[in-house]
Structure 1
């Protein structure tokens, strides 16, 4: 991994953390976030979120779809619940999200996989009829998880804590970057924004190896013209590092 130039496109603060870890391993990370995460902070949004958080003890399952969802929800829970309700099952999608919850003092469980599909497979034996489920996410997230749980009889609600925005970059940003050996993407939205900028400023990047977090996003990358898309089976640093080492060692 020595001196390997890796483009890190995940949003902050994870981008900085990934770059620090890669630097410690001798790689040369290049930071270029392709998503901005903005917490919902209008008075109306805050009032709605607070109301939902105060009622969180009504749910049998609370599922967090990302580290950002976990981090922001933890702040709200600290404000509204000095002691967490005991009968709620807290679940994180992916090891990174689950570990974020645990670090925040929330006793979360997770399935061995890293996607909504893997979580649904893990929960197949669980009786969901009339179980109340709260999915904590950003505005406009995928509905696959909620739809499938409703098919099993669950009563699903959503708590949106943030919105995703496309960062604004000028052409100069791309022309000043060094040569890239490998790219990390960690979500479908991340990939879409990267692809749009790549087509505009760096079309040759489409030939570079690009690590994706799941089979779904990997297929999405292939469909968008990335000819060397590789699945890392996770958006966390450990999964991406393992895939990076495998690729470099080939």
Structure 2
């Protein structure tokens, strides 16, 4: 199969061939393969460790930094809002920087995806609303608890920007929706040495795949990469767990091959990389 012929979707195709989530299909399946990881290092440790354990080489180039907002500022914001019936966390960053401030509310907690749910539960809280499948706003909005929300107060905990679909749909269903922004995402500022290392690795063909977990990550990556490095990036294959990322990649990096992974969990991403690498 020619992975460079354009976008290839692995999600949903041949489901029976995939091992259960959490299982890596091969401990040597990435031998000789270089993978560029674009999330901040503290958020990509499991993915990086899995790539290395499978024999691959990790090139870490974070596209952005996460800066949490002052907790006192967040709490002042909360006092000006009506007490929520439902609090929605849209990411692990939202949990890390906002969960402590909203624990006092007697509200149902919703999580957009499994990683966000895990972060909440790891802090001792119960997640009441989460998608049975999928890991985005569209899937969360299908949950029964979010259908009849007329007159209910919904608080969405997120960064300084993001998709509006969740809030817009809940408002259409009659909910009163407020945002609480608990962190900012700022483009990473690479050093000249980091840029030189990246361009060298790309130019020498040592980076076979680049993993991008969100549209915001991709936008920051394109913003901070020099034009020469961005041009060289087209020689790699971009692997992402969301169709919106692939669509954005085709717009921002025309010509780059893209592959849709079945999910954002580290084992799932690693298994996708292994299958691509072994298929050639």
Partner of 1:110: 130
TM-score (norm 2): 0.77
**C-alpha deviations, 1:137-183, integer Å up to 9, x for none?**
00122211101110111110111100000011244323224321110
Higher RCO structure (Cα 8 Å, ≥6 apart): 2
SS in 2 for 1:207: coil
Q: Does 1:29 align with 2:58?
A: yes
Structure 2: distance between partners of 1:133 and 1:62 = 6
Q: 1:124 to 1:61 in 2, by over 3 A?
A: closer
Structure 1 position 228 matched with structure 2 position 257 = yes
Output aligned runs, 1:91-110, within 5 Å. Answer: 91-108=110-127, 109-110=129-130
**Other structure's SS at 2:210 match:** strand
Q: Is the 8 A contact 2:46 2:266 kept in 1?
A: no
Cα contact 1:101–1:107 (8 A) shared by 2: yes
Task: State the partner residue of 1:150.
Answer: 171
> Structure 1 regions of 5+ residues with no counterpart?
none
Matched residue SS, 1:186: coil
Unaligned runs of 5+ residues in structure 2 are: 1-29
SS at match of 2:155: strand
TM-score (norm 1): 0.86
SS of 2:248's equivalent?
helix
The aligned residue for residue 237 of structure 1 is: 266
1:204 aligns with 2:237: no
Pairwise CA RMSD of aligned residues?
Answer: 2.3
- Provide closer, same or farther for how the CA distance between residues 226 and 154 of structure 1 changes in structure 2, counting only shifts above 3 A: farther
- In structure 2, what is the equivalent of residue 69 of structure 1? 94
**Counterparts of 1:160 and 1:236, CA distance in 2:** 25
Aligned residues: 240
How far off is 1:65 after superposition?
0.7
Residues 163-182 of structure 1 mapped to structure 2, 5 A cutoff: 163-177=184-198, 178=201, 179-182=206-209
Find the aligned partners of 2:247 and 2:258 in 1 and give their Cα distance.
Answer: 8
Kept in 1: contact 2:189–2:224 (CA 8 A): no
